[in-house]
Every structure is written in structure tokens, then in C-alpha cells.
Amino acid sequence: MSDETENVEEQAEEPVEEAAEETPEVEAEETKTEEADPEETDTGETEPEKEPDPRSKPPVIDLETLLKPISDENPAGESVRYSGVYDEINEARRADDDLNLGEWEHELKVADYKKVIEIATNTLANETKDLQIAAWLSESLIREHGFAGLRDSLKLMSGLIDNFWETAFPEVDEGDEEGRANAIEWMDREAAFSTLKAPITERGYGLMDYRDAKTFDIPDNIEALDTAEREKFTELKEIAEKQNRTTADKWKVAVASSKRAFYEELDFVLKECWEEYETLNKVAEKWFDPKQAASMNDLKKALEDIQTRADKLLDKKRGEEPDPVDEYAEMEDGVEGENRGGNAGGFSAGGAIKNRAQALSRLTEVAKFFSQTEPHSPVSYLVNRAVKWGRMPLDSWLTEVIKDETVLGQLRETLGFGSGGAEDAWGEENNEGGEEAQEAAAEEDW
């Protein structure tokens, strides 16, 4: 071999040796990079579960269990359409019309929603993943648990569609999704109807009762009306009594006796319902053929109407039951402003009380003092209650204090509520804000 050949071979081998020497350094740098990124390092530890919002009502069904596969080999289980389960659920759901049946009158069958929940949850957990059974379950959950039931029903349906689309029931037959679309449409229709009955007052009245109350707004002084009006309202009164319909008086009493805390909770659970409604729509859009997809428009309309009424009721209660801390801060700002302006006659800690508003603000200050210095004392609670009552018109105050509706109705009739000129809780004509403000306040009661 010539010297030239040996030189060529040596030159060819040198880069290989250099590359071999550089490789460990590159690998070491990559190792350092991986070690430097703790997010990519598998420590074997799982992130802690997100704490539930304390404002959220607990689940009314065990969603985790209901969304577990029936088995590894057959995640959605078997069809139970002809096993008798459908018949059992429908018999439990069945209710006779509450009508006067005359000589055919008999004991009316009422829907057993608790039994529907028992059958449906057991079947979905252990036998099948069936969208129609989930739809029937939604109706019963709303009837038994109100808006928390609606929230969890929507969440369940989303989970069944998203996790078991390929194997769930009703089956997709050669691309035909009609059975599944029918289940969604049934849920939309019946969930909307049941949601309108869900409580938006602490006495259990729902938006459907509110609509009843608008119809059965019967004045106390029927006998003083002209003949046509008297006959009209007498007939309405008889219908309301015979059919146990919700009258305007009943509705107003229910609203007056409901607390701000109830409407704060209602506001939050409605937000949760909207979130789950949007999620179900997105999941359905993901899996359904656009030409066969079912709509959820009835439920959307019902939720919109309920949200509108709930917002007004919450605003009303926030006015009746203001946050003492916020009110105190506003009062302090007013005092500082008056002091800066050199108004010696304005309200101050040691100044004379000029009007009713200042008196109530002073009481709020007293309540805050006791809540901070004597948190276990009932003084702050009682003073805050006095402030709340001081802001109420007499009718609302009586409603809160007198729980017997018969006594309350007699007293309201004696005092002439509904005929104008009602005095507030302290014997003063409640004209704050003028006629427009009073009309707005009256509307808010509705």
C-alpha cells in the first residue's frame, strides 16, 4: 500500500473518531435538558384534584359509576329494550290527569320519580348505556332535585354520548341515528317542561307557578267591582280554588319569604346548568350527523325565561338584604366626603341623625362593631335584621313575620293592600323614588 493511500485512509477515519468522541457530550446535554424540565419528568405523582366550588350543590347521582364501562369486552353492555326495563320505567313515570272524573272518579296514580331514578341508575351502571333511559332519568332528577338534577342530567348525557358513541343504545343502524336523536329530543321537551316547575322560591314555586299567578291575579275587593269585573274575578277565584292554582297573593308571599341566600345559590346552579347545556350541544355536534342531529331549543328557551325571572328576584333580594360590610364602606366614604367638604351639619359618628336613611346606616355601623368585637353575640344579627325590616314596605314585613297565610290574608284585606295608599313598616307613606320607582318595585315583586 502506497503512502498516499495510507494518508487518505487516516483522513477518512479521523472525522469518525471525532464524531464518536462528540456523541457522549450531545447525549449528556440532552439528559441535562430533560432533567432541567420538571414538567416532562415522570415522578409518578398525580396532580391533586381540583377542589369543588363551595357554592356548588353536591351531585345528585354518582356520575363516575354511571359512566364506567359495563365491561372491558362490552363497554355499553347489552340492549334492555325488550327486557321489561322500559315498561317498568314508563309505569313508574305514569301519572293520571288531575281532573274531575265524575262517576268514574278513582284514586289517581301519581308518578313515582324516586323509583324511576332507582331503576334507571341501576340499569345504566350495571346493564347498559342507553340514551333513552338517561333521558327518562333526566325528567325524574329535575322533578326530585330541581336545577341540580338538570345539571347532572346534562352532564350524564354528554358523558354517555362522548364515551360510548360507538356502542351505546339505541344502536346506529347503517348510519341511521334516529333512535338517538329521538332520545335527545324527548329529553329536550320533557326536561324543559320539568325545569319550568323547578323551584325558584323557597316555598317550591317555579316559573310555571309565576305564569299562573299572572293569570290568577285576583283583587281582594271583588264585591266592590262592577258587574262584569266581579263575575270575571269570581270565576277566576273558583277555578283557582278548585284546581289549586297559584294565585298572585300566594306567589308574592312565596317571594317575600325567600331569602337572598336562596337566590344566590339559584344563580350559581343556573350558571352550572348553562355550562352543561353548552357542553352537551358541543358533544352532540361532534358525534351526530349534522343532518340527523337533534335540537335542544325547548330547554334553552325555558332556561332563558327562568334566568330572566331569577335575575330580577336576586336583584330584589340584594336590595332588601344588602351586605353590611359593603354598606358600611359606602357610609364611611360618604362621611369622609362630607368632612372634606366642611359640612359640619352632615352625618358623622357623633352628629345628629338627620333622616331615616342615616338612622339605618348608623345601625349598620353598630352591627358591624358587634360582629367584629363580639362575633358570638346575637346583637349584630338582630340589629341587621332590624335594618332589613326598616327597608321593607309593610306588606313584605308582615309576610316575613306572619307565617299563617289565612291570618296574613285577613290582615292584608283589613289594611287595604292592593287598593293603594299602603303605609310602610314604620307608619310613613313609602314614596321614595316617586311613582315610577314604586311601579318598578311592584313589577319586581312579580
In the DSSP assignment, the letter for residue 47 is P
Split into its structural domains, the chain has a count of: 2
Averaged over 17-27, what is the pLDDT?
A: 46
pLDDT at 399: 75
Identify which of 323, 327, 328, 204 has the alpha carbon closest to the alpha carbon of residue 262: 204
User: φ, ψ for residue 17 (rounded to 5)?
Assistant: -65, -40
pLDDT digits (tens, 9 = 90+) for 171-195: 999 999 999 999 999 999 999 999 9
| 95 plus 157 within the same structural domain | yes
Tell me if the bond preceding 170 is cis, omega within 30° of 0: yes
Identify which of 398, 396, 385 has the alpha carbon closest to the alpha carbon of residue 441: 396
User: Does residue 210 sit within a domain?
Assistant: no
User: Does residue 260 sit within a domain?
Assistant: no
User: Does residue 75 sit within a domain?
Assistant: yes
Average confidence score pLDDT of the chain: 80
Q: Which of 281, 298, 320 is the last residue before a domain boundary? A: 320
| Helix, strand, coil share (%) of the chain residues, nearest 5 | 65, 0, 35
Please name every residue paired with 130 in a beta bridge, in sequence order, or none if there are none.
169
Q: How many C-beta atoms surround the C-beta of residue 236 within 10 A?
A: 17
| 333 plus 315 within the same structural domain | no
Averaged over 228-237, what is the pLDDT?
A: 93
Cα angle for residues 219, 222, 227 (degrees, 5° grid): 130
Contacts (Cβ under 8 Å, ≥6 apart) of 191: 138, 139, 142, 150, 153, 298, 299
pLDDT at 369: 83
Q: Which of 300, 320, 340 is the last residue before a domain boundary? A: 320
Exposure pattern of 116-140 as b/e (b: 16+ CB <10 Å)? bbebbbebbbebbbbbbbbbbbbbb
d(CA 181, CA 190): 14
Structural contact between residues 415 and 394, judged by C-beta atoms closer than 8 angstroms = yes
> Of 45-59, 282-296, 335-349, where does the model show the most confidence?
282-296
439 pLDDT exceeds 50?
no
145 pLDDT exceeds 80?
yes
| 174 plus 84 within the same structural domain | yes
| 309 plus 421 within the same structural domain | no
pLDDT at 411: 76
d(CA 93, CA 110): 8
Structural domain boundaries enclosing 387: 324-427
Determine the 3-state secondary structure of 128 from DSSP: strand
Determine the 3-state secondary structure of 245 from DSSP: coil
Averaged over 298-322, what is the pLDDT?
A: 96
| 333 plus 419 within the same structural domain | yes
Structural contact between residues 128 and 83, judged by C-beta atoms closer than 8 angstroms = no
> Of 293-297, 327-331, 421-425, where does the model show the most confidence?
293-297
The x, y and z cell numbers of residue 272, run together, are 352550572
| 165 plus 302 within the same structural domain | yes
For the ranges 76-90, 123-137, 284-298, 432-446, which has the lowest average pLDDT? 432-446
User: Does residue 4 sit within a domain?
Assistant: no
User: Does residue 128 sit within a domain?
Assistant: yes
| 172 plus 139 within the same structural domain | yes
Share of the chain above pLDDT 70, in %: 72
| 298 plus 394 within the same structural domain | no
The x, y and z cell numbers of residue 179, run together, are 333512535
H or E, element range at 132: helix 131-145
d(CA 314, CA 431): 23
Q: How many C-beta atoms surround the C-beta of residue 215 within 10 A?
A: 14
Averaged over 270-285, what is the pLDDT?
A: 98
Q: The whole model's pTM is what? A: 0.68
| 115 plus 70 within the same structural domain | yes
8 pLDDT exceeds 90?
no
Structural contact between residues 153 and 141, judged by C-beta atoms closer than 8 angstroms = yes
Residue 48: pLDDT band with limits 50, 70, 90:
low
Residue with the larger pLDDT of the pair 365 and 123? 123
Residue 215: pLDDT band with limits 50, 70, 90:
very high
267 pLDDT exceeds 90?
yes
User: Does residue 19 sit within a domain?
Assistant: no
pLDDT at 264: 97
| 313 plus 390 within the same structural domain | no
User: Does residue 124 sit within a domain?
Assistant: yes
pLDDT at 46: 55
| 316 plus 187 within the same structural domain | yes
Q: Where are the beta strands (DSSP E) in 132-185?
A: none
User: Does residue 390 sit within a domain?
Assistant: yes
Structural contact between residues 170 and 179, judged by C-beta atoms closer than 8 angstroms = yes
| 71 plus 173 within the same structural domain | yes
The CB-side HSE value for 112 (13 A sphere, CA atoms) comes to: 11
The x, y and z cell numbers of residue 166, run together, are 360507538
Averaged over 123-144, what is the pLDDT?
A: 99
235 pLDDT exceeds 90?
yes
Structural contact between residues 320 and 392, judged by C-beta atoms closer than 8 angstroms = yes
